[in-house]
């Protein structure tokens, strides 16, 4: 059996609707899981991997991920994915040291 190629965004189309709907294919479930655990800095850095302005996007993104959210199929409102991105950005610790080790520029 061929291993699943998760670099291919089409993979997410089948399993993670919100991640597929996001133009940057941000790993939404992963950063929400980290926020639920109170790990705001880690959640921010997960976002940072797919778009370097999580705090800005958390305030300005058109959030195509939210209409794709499965929660919206069973409840009135989808998960507030975009606002949670903002929460991670607003509550993160100082990340300067951590960015140095991650930067690929």
Q: Which residues bind ligand SF4 (CB under 6 A)?
A: 22, 24, 26, 28, 51, 57, 61, 63-65, 81-82, 85
Residue 57 Cβ, how far from ligand SF4 at the closest point, in Å? 5
Tell me the backbone φ, ψ of residue 5, rounded to 5 degrees: -95, 95
Q: 2 or 7: whose CB is closer to ligand SF4?
A: 7
Q: What is the DSSP letter of 4?
A: P
In whole angstroms, how close is the CB of 83 to ligand SF4 at the nearest point? 9
Residue 95 phi/psi, 5-degree rounding, is -110, 0
- Which residue in 88, 70, 71, 67 sits closest to 22, CA to CA? 67
C-beta of 24 vs 87, nearer to ligand SF4: 24
């Amino acid at each position: 059996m061929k291993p699943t190629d998760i670099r291919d965004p089409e993979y997410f189309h089948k399993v993670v609707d919100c991640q597929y709907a996001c133009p940057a294919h941000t790993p939404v479930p992963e950063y929400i899981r980290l926020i639920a655990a109170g790990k705001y800095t880690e959640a921010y850095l997960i976002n940072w991997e797919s778009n370097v302005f999580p705090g800005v996007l958390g305030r300005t993104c058109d959030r195509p991920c939210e209409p794709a959210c499965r929660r919206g199929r069973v409840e009135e409102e989808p998960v507030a994915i975009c606002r949670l991105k903002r929460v991670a950005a607003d509550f993160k610790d100082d990340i300067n040291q951590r960015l140095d080790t991650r930067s690929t520029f």
